[in-house]
A and B are shown apart, each in its own frame.
Chain A
């Protein structure tokens, strides 16, 4: 610790250079923490999926429906326990206008994207049977089944809008075929479901479900199924059952693609390509670049201080001590950059989850709980210290090996 003031004085010698290096390091750690937080959140989301559930969708694209008749045929496949037809509604709250509530202005066609949240039309019976993580009280479940306009919302969604049982709200879909001529859909909150975070970690309750029958009838009985949730008896046979389902419709107009819920969620989130690979690739590239920047800075700093290093050695500092000072200085840059980067990442998380529009866009893809996890922050900090160490090691090795007489001679 007695060398700390000495190190800090050296860092202040060229405060502009030190500041830029710390900022570069901070940028690196900021990106690392932010990207890893997004990946961790996606990972948690995927982990919340069940190995006992498959998703069957149109083989061409998720945007194309499947015939309703497929449900019964999928149910007949050996190994299938239950099938729930569903359709991503894509509804948003209508925009409030000056002096009018949403209800009064329910004929408006404009939607409030800033309050977007996932809402899905499902076959309620099989859905709640195959999603035990959504815990809906029995009386609320019965009330939901008896009211076609009824919906069940997750606890997080209820808290967000302050909705209670019996409250009414309106949603209008951005998908043309999910709209009805007389304005937005009216919903009545009939159930609020919770989840057990210990038993079902990562389960997001920022979601709403309602009866598919309501959507089907209100839109003129022409809709198909967006996807089918398929509960299977044995998770070990997921591949076998998936292949059997897809084989069933191989010669149909609408061929299917069945995959595990996890694979489906991953493809839904990433849409295209491997998001994790992309984000990690960016992280590695930035980290490597910053490593070069900091190494270069430390090399210049050591080169500028050849005489001082010679003086230190002449005064009795051993080579390992001199090397330690150089490495410690570099690590100090890492520590400062790391702390700054983690702070910035924390700020960014707060901004993302509190800025209307962005917050709700994230919620729409299940990332409403985006936050800087302690483990990611710790990894980011360790990364910064490691980068500082590696960046300082090579110049420090030069200082370690340098002979006093040679360094004094270059004056």
Chain B
């Protein structure tokens, strides 16, 4: 069974009387342990598709089954719980909380668990080690470079050991060297930690790192 199974999904945004169809009967399967890249021009619907897979948005019609759960049928609270257990999200602009240091940022998703403070701290430090930032555990986002911030964000995404990692242009705000390092890291997570990864990117070099590539255009897959 596919880890991500998108079946005949349509997403329509409504503003007043206007309707905008962003995804139009789209279907996509991503197998467990796969590393899929979603590519396409701006407005093609790739970020919308990623949001549906991550469970932060719901389709107008169709099913989105992730890790065996049809997220299209979940309520708001159930969706939040689903995200906390199954999905790690990597943003383009890192979106770290500026008042929290690296460890505290990584620890944030663990506040929703029943782990003790010491256990949370231990796991956060382990995640930081995985991304190679154990020595920056006490640093605040403003004290880190863009690449380091994105590493912390990746540590935050993996700290709950989710089944799926979704990344929305994770190298879009980085220089070439940092981008390569981040792509290397994502590759390791896929290869060594068996994480299923769905990544949206404009960058063909980033897409080349993925095992499978999917091209979207005007809300439908072209490959």
Q: Chain A: residues with CB nearer than 8 A to chain B?
A: 2-3, 5-6, 9-10, 12-13, 307-308, 310-321, 403-405, 408, 411
A114 to chain B, nearest CB (A): 52
Q: Which of B57-105 contact A (CB under 8 A)?
A: 57, 76-77, 80-81, 83-85, 89, 91, 93, 95, 97-100, 104
**Docked CA distance A315–B51 (Å):** 13
> With A13-B98, A316-B84 as given contacts, are A3 and B111 in contact (CB-CB < 8 Å)?
yes
**Which of chain B's residues have a CB closer than 8 A to the CB of A311?**
91, 95, 97
| A10-B99 contact in complex given A2-B117, A315-B84, A316-B83, C-beta closer than 8 Å | yes
Check: B112 CB closer than 8 A to any chain A CB.
Answer: yes
Tell whether B124 is near chain A: CB-to-CB under 8 Å: no
Question: Which A-chain residue is minimally distant from B85 (CB atoms)?
Answer: A316
Interface of A is mostly: helix
The answer for the CA separation of A12 and B140 in the assembled complex, in Å, is 14
A6 to B56, Cβ gap below 8 A? no
B54 part of interface (Cβ distance < 8 Å): yes
B residues contacting the other copy or chain, number (CB 8 A): 27
Contact at A13–B56, with CB atoms within 8 Å? Answer: no
* Cβ A314 vs Cβ B56 within 8 A: yes
Q: How far apart sit A13 and B98, CA to CA, in the bound complex (Å)?
A: 8
Closest to B82 in A: A316
Q: How far is the CB of B142 from chain A (nearest CB, A)?
A: 12
Q: Could you give, for residues 154-176 of chain B, a 1 whenever the CB lies within 8 Å of some chain A CB and a 0 otherwise?
A: 00100010000000000000000
Interface contact B76-A405, CB-CB below 8 Å: no
* Contact status B99-A9, CB under 8 Å: yes
Quote the shortest CB–CB distance from B111 to chain A (angstroms).
6
Which residue from chain B places its CB closest to the CB of A400 in the assembled complex?
Answer: B76
Can you name 10 A-B pairs with beta carbons within 8 Å?
A9-B99, A9-B104, A12-B99, A308-B95, A315-B83, A316-B85, A319-B76, A320-B77, A321-B80, A321-B112
Distance between A254 CB and nearest chain B CB, rounded to angstroms: 74
Contact with A along B115-139 (1 / 0, CB 8 A): 0010000000000000000000000
Q: Knowing A3-B111, A315-B83, A405-B57 touch, does A308 contact B76 (C-beta < 8 A)?
A: no
